[in-house]
């Protein structure tokens, strides 16, 4: 039972001052130098425990597909069915374990949970450190679920089957590693590792221009990531300058940023390092103008590759913004909002207009991804509670809806071996089940109320209008207004696509021989349809567990020093109303949802009426982005 005490008299500000920041320091030897000496006494025990915890459930979920890939390598090439069913069984088991992971997750806390940590390269401050929070846990489930769909559809593959399945499983481990990594070098390792299997999937099993598309995909994303690596090295060196400890530990670096020590002597570097990370994530999303690799990769990739590319790989970019750019660069983030939002809006309109003139249905959906990911970025960089929740939710919705569209396009391609609109027409009478499923998925991409797409886009637009109305971050109402036009354009090109494929006379002899979906294909697509309506009718199933983590990330980006949440300080928490509060002592891998509130550190201010040029901490009255505590 949650016990709440708003009175500060029982606990008092003295306890908080002794715990964070500026607490009495206790000496402790560390293999990394003076790192533990810079921590308050009450945090030393948890840090000692986290130095080496061994492997647990998070690691098992992450590396099980890789173990499965190694086992599949032992299967002779003459037994393709063994490879197919073996890979399918491994993805099912991985998804089952990810559900167990979710059931152990406590959604009422923003702190990382089920943390596993082991030293890796001690001399450089690099460790194997993984864990989950409310943002990453849904992306893990999305990854393991879509891998089932991708491998299941890949039963159609008949060329080098074993190698194909091995690449799919290696790709799954790389993607999961990105979402659980709490060490920046570990994150970078998985981030780059995902390029290799996807490169081979496109280059070996892709379309006619597969080599061009694969090389372009690899060079674009790899080149963007180099900037991130440079930024990570700079962040580690700045942490050593601020604390005396060289580390790539995300939790430790964010704690130093929250306390104000990290950027104290390097404020001029913050915009440069922000963009070092941002460019890598903008290429991965992708955002305009770094999007040009995506249509080629989508069109030439095999169907399962397109499903995973749209459903998961693009989310690594938006996840990177939530995990790194917002929490680590609070002093410059406000200044970058108009640039990012402006590019997001351009991407929404540009993607919609280019999609509308495509003769190839797969290329149309590829360009629609540029537009839909623009809504994700619009929501995130509104820096409002509604917008951030909408952006985080919409990235899940896009994975389901666009992944399902690529699946349906793949099903018709296996029958007709063409994706051109001119080769179709009148399919609703020939394939009524296929037409019905296609209509449902298409309407979810449009954002029809009752489907998952509506909730995400609505919250993203609401948050951006809210920020623009408040005059915050230099945003103008024209940004969300133009983005709203993108919703209309999406309805136009998607409805036209449906009309061209399913209405009109069915005069093509090849189409007259088409048969409707098989039972297993209906079940496979139906699983995605379930989440279309689940996300649209019961969105709190997905929104509530991520709310504390999203609220913390927002406060990390907006609040002043002393009122920023810290991933390291377990005496900070986001309460049920979204306020940042001081709570009683807890253990990281213990019960994080049951706590006693000692006092409020910063109010939630979910709807702030800021005016440009008027910082929240300077206001004497009215709602504030982050109120100063009495000194």
pLDDT at 3: 38
Which residues, in sequence order, are bridge partners of residue 253? Answer: none
Burial zone of 520 (CB within 10 Å; 0-12 exposed, 13-18 middle, 19+ buried): exposed
As a residue count, the chain comes to 631
pLDDT at 47: 44
Rounded to whole angstroms, the Cα distance separating 293 from 239 reads 35
Q: Band of the pLDDT at 596, cuts 50, 70, 90?
A: confident
More confident residue, 528 or 509: 528
Report the pLDDT averaged over residues 589-611.
75
Half-sphere exposure (CA, 13 Å, Cβ side) for 600? 15
pLDDT at 623: 36
Nearest one of 191, 143, 198 to 170, comparing CA atoms = 198
Both tokens of 272, joined, read: 């440069």
Q: Which long-range contacts (CB under 8 A, 24 or more apart) does 258-263 make?
A: 258/556, 258/561, 258/564, 258/565, 258/566, 258/569, 259/20, 259/21, 259/561, 259/566, 260/21, 260/561, 260/562, 261/21, 262/238, 263/238, 263/331
Both tokens of 81, joined, read: 């069915």
pLDDT at 14: 34
Rounded to whole angstroms, the Cα distance separating 309 from 447 reads 21
pLDDT at 587 over 60: yes
Q: List pLDDT tens digits, range 217-271.
A: 999 999 889 999 999 999 999 999 988 889 999 999 999 999 888 988 888 899 9
pLDDT at 178: 95
Quick one: angle between helices 361-380 and 293-300, nearest 10?
Answer: 130
Both tokens of 331, joined, read: 């002093």
Query: Any idea which of 36-45, 208-217, 315-324 has the lowest mean pLDDT?
Result: 36-45
Dump the DSSP string for 532-595.
HHHHHH-THHHHHHHHHHHHHHHHHHHSPTTSS--SS-TTEEE-TTS-EEEE----TTS--S--
pLDDT at 597: 85
Rounded to whole angstroms, the Cα distance separating 9 from 420 reads 72
Q: Band of the pLDDT at 195, cuts 50, 70, 90?
A: very high
pLDDT at 111 over 50: yes
Q: List pLDDT tens digits, range 383-416.
A: 999 999 999 999 999 999 999 999 999 999 988 8
Which residues, at least 6 apart from 438, have a Cβ–Cβ distance to it below 8 Å? 408, 498, 501, 502
CB 365 within 8 A of CB 409: yes
Q: What is the reported pTM?
A: 0.86
Q: List pLDDT tens digits, range 53-83.
A: 778 899 999 999 999 999 999 988 889 899 9
Q: Is 295 helix (H, G, I), strand (E, B) or coil?
A: helix
Query: Any idea which of 40-44, 93-97, 353-357 has the lowest mean pLDDT?
Result: 40-44
Question: Is beta strand 3-4 parallel, antiparallel or unpaired with respect to 596-602?
Answer: parallel
- Residue 355's alpha-carbon distances to 221, 305, 493, 503, in angstroms, are 22, 20, 7, 20
pLDDT at 28: 40
Q: List pLDDT tens digits, range 419-470.
A: 888 888 888 888 999 999 999 999 999 989 999 989 999 999 999 999 888 8
pLDDT at 513 over 70: yes
Q: Could you give the percent of the chain with pLDDT greater than 70?
A: 87
The number of beta carbons lying within 10 Å of the beta carbon of residue 27 is 9
């Amino acid at each position: 039972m949650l016990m709440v005490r708003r009175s500060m008299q029982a606990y008092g500000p003295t306890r908080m001052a002794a715990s964070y920041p500026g607490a009495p320091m206790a000496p402790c030897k560390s293999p990394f130098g003076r790192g533990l000496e810079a921590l308050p006494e009450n945090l030393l025990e948890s840090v000692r425990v986290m130095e080496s915890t061994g492997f647990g459930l998070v690691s098992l979920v992450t590396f099980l597909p890789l173990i499965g890939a190694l086992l599949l390598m032992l299967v002779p090439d003459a037994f393709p069915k063994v490879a197919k069913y073996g890979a399918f069984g491994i993805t099912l088991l991985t998804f089952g374990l990810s559900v167990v992971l979710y059931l152990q997750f406590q959604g009422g806390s923003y702190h990382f949970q089920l943390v596993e940590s082991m030293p890796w390269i001690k001399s450089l401050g690099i460790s194997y450190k993984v864990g989950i929070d409310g943002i990453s846990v849904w992306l893990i489930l999305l990854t393991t679920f879509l891998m089932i769909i991708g491998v299941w559809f890949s039963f159609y593959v008949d060329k080098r089957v074993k190698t194909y399945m091995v690449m799919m499983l290696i790709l799954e481990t790389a993607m999961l590693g990105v979402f659980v990594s709490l060490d920046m070098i570990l994150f970078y390792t998985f981030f780059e590792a995902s390029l290799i299997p996807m490169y081979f999937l496109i280059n070996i099993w892709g379309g006619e221009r597969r080599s061009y598309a694969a090389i372009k995909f690899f060079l674009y994303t790899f080149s963007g990531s180099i900037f991130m690596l440079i930024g990570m090295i700079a962040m580690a060196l700045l942490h050593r300058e601020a604390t005396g400890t060289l580390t790539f530990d995300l939790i430790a670096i964010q704690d130093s940023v929250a306390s104000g020590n990290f950027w104290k002597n390097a404020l001029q570097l913050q915009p440069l390092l922000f963009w070092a990370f941002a460019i890598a994530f903008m290429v991965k999303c992708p955002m305009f103008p770094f999007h040009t690799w995506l249509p080629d990769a989508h069109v030439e990739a095999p169907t399962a590759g397109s499903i995973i590319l749209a459903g998961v790989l693009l989310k690594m970019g938006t996840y990177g913004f939530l995990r790194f750019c917002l929490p680590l660069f609070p002093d410059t983030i406000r200044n970058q909002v108009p640039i990012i939002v402006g590019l997001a809006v351009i991407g929404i309109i540009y993607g919609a207009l280019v999609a509308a003139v495509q003769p190839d249905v797969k290329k149309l959906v590829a360009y629609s991804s540029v537009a839909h990911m623009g809504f994700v970025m619009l929501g995130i960089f509104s820096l409002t509670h509604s917008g951030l929740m909408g952006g985080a939710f919409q990235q899940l919705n896009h994975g389901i809806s666009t992944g399902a569209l690529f699946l349906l396009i793949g099903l018709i391609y296996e029958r007709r071996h063409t994706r051109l609109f001119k080769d179709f027409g009148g399919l609703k009478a020939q394939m009524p089940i296929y037409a019905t499923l296609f209509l449902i998925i298409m309407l979810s991409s449009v954002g029809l109320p009752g489907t998952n797409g509506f909730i995400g886009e609505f919250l993203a637009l609401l948050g951006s209008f809210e920020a623009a109305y408040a005059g915050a971050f230099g945003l103008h109402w024209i940004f969300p207004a133009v983005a709203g036009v993108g919703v209309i354009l999406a309805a136009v090109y998607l409805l036209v696509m449906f009309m061209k494929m399913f209405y009109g006379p069915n005069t093509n002899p090849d189409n007259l021989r088409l048969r409707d979906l098989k039972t297993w294909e209906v079940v496979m697509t139906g699983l995605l349809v379930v989440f279309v309506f689940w996300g649209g009718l019961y969105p709190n199933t997905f929104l509530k567990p991520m709310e504390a983590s999203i609220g913390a990330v927002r406060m990390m980006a907006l609040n002043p020093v002393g009122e920023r949440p810290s991933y390291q300080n377990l005496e900070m928490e986001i309460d049920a109303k979204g306020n940042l509060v001081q709570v009683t002592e807890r253990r990281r891998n213990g019960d994080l949802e049951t706590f006693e509130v000692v006092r409020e550190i910063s109010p939630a201010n979910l709807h702030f009426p800021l005016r440009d040029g008027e910082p929240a901490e300077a206001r004497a009255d009215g709602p504030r982005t982050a109120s100063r505590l009495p000194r």
